C-alpha cells in the first residue's frame, strides 16, 4: 500500500499503479460495441451497425487445390460455378459472353454453349437488416427484353445492364463440413440469387488488438501489482486497495 514519506522507488511504483488502475477503469467502462465498430472489418467479414454482430466468412474461400462451389440450377437447366469472396479457380481459359476481361470472375454459368459471367469478385459482405449478403456485379450483358418483359434469345440489352449475383448467408450451427450453396432464383436472366447455409455465417468474436492506451497501462503496472489486480478481480477494487 502507498504511504507518504516512503522511498522514492516505492512511491513511484505506487503512483504508477494508481495511474494504470485508472486507465484500466476507463477501458472497462468503455462501450465494447462502439470500440469494435470503429475497427475496420477484415476482408470477407462484416459487422452489423444495428446489433454489433460480427461474422467472418474467410474460411469459405476456395483456393489452391480446392474445387469451386458447384450449384445445381434445377429447372433453370444450367448449373452454376462460384467462389465466395474470391475469383473462381481456373477461369482464365473461359470466354465470357460480352466481357473482354475474364479475370476476377466470381460466378458464372454455361447455357447453349455460351459462358455467362455473374460478376466480379467482392470481399466486402454487408448486413441488410439482420441478413448478411454478398453482391457480385459487372457480369455479362443482360438480355434484351421484349414488350412483355421477357428476355429475347441472342440479343443483349442496349442500356449496358450487366448480370449480377446476390449471395445470402444463413447461420446453421448444426451443419458440419462445407457450406451448402443453393440456387434460389433469377429475374429476367439478369439478377441471380443464392442461399449459402453454413456455420461460418454465425456470429463470432471480432479480434481486437490492444490499443496504445491499454499497452501503456499494462507496462505501468509492476508484476506484484498485476497479481494483486487479478486476485481482487476488478480495477475499482484494485484502485481502492492502493489508496486505502
**Domains (range + CATH), the chain:** 8-38+209-243 (no CATH), 45-201 (2.70.130.10)
Beta bridge mates, 126:
133
Residue 206 — φ and ψ, nearest 5°? -80, 130
**pLDDT-flagged residues of the chain (< 50):** 2, 9, 12-13, 21, 23-25, 27-28, 30, 33, 36, 214, 217-218, 226-227, 229-230, 235-236, 238-240, 242-243
Spatial CA neighbour of 218 closest among 24, 15, 2, 8 = 24
pTM: 0.72
101 in Cβ contact with 119 (< 8 Å): no
pLDDT recorded at residue 92: 77
pLDDT recorded at residue 93: 84
Distance of alpha carbon 152 from alpha carbon 157, whole angstroms: 9
pLDDT recorded at residue 154: 92
61 in Cβ contact with 43 (< 8 Å): no
pLDDT recorded at residue 206: 80
Sequence-separated contacts (24+) of 38-43 with Cβ below 8 Å: 39/206, 39/208, 41/206, 43/85, 43/123, 43/124
Distance of alpha carbon 32 from alpha carbon 25, whole angstroms: 13
pLDDT recorded at residue 65: 82
Amino acid at each position: 500500500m502507498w504511504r507518504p514519506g516512503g522511498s522514492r522507488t516505492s512511491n513511484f511504483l505506487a503512483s504508477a499503479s494508481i495511474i494504470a488502475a485508472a486507465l484500466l477503469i476507463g477501458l472497462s467502462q468503455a462501450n465494447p460495441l462502439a470500440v469494435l465498430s470503429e475497427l475496420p472489418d477484415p476482408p470477407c467479414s462484416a459487422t452489423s451497425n444495428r446489433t454489433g454482430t460480427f461474422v467472418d466468412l474467410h474460411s469459405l474461400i476456395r483456393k489452391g487445390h480446392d474445387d469451386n462451389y458447384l450449384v445445381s440450377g434445377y429447372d433453370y437447366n444450367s448449373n452454376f460455378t462460384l467462389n465466395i469472396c474470391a475469383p473462381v479457380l481456373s477461369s482464365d481459359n473461359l470466354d465470357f459472353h460480352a466481357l473482354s476481361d475474364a479475370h476476377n470472375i466470381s460466378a458464372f454459368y454455361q447455357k447453349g454453349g455460351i459462358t455467362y459471367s455473374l460478376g466480379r469478385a467482392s470481399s466486402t459482405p454487408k448486413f441488410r437488416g439482420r441478413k448478411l449478403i454478398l453482391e457480385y456485379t459487372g457480369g455479362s450483358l443482360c438480355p434484351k427484353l421484349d414488350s412483355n418483359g421477357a428476355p429475347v434469345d441472342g440479343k443483349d440489352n442496349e442500356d449496358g445492364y450487366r448480370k449480377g449475383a446476390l449471395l445470402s448467408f444463413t447461420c446453421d450451427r448444426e451443419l458440419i463440413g462445407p457450406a451448402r450453396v443453393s440456387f434460389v432464383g433469377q429475374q429476367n436472366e439478369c439478377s441471380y440469387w443464392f442461399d449459402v447455409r453454413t456455420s461460418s455465417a454465425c456470429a463470432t468474436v471480432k479480434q481486437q488488438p490492444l490499443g496504445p492506451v491499454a499497452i501503456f497501462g499494462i507496462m505501468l503496472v509492476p508484476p506484484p501489482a498485476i497479481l494483486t489486480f487479478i486476485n481482487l478481480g476488478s480495477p475499482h477494487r484494485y484502485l481502492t486497495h492502493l489508496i486505502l
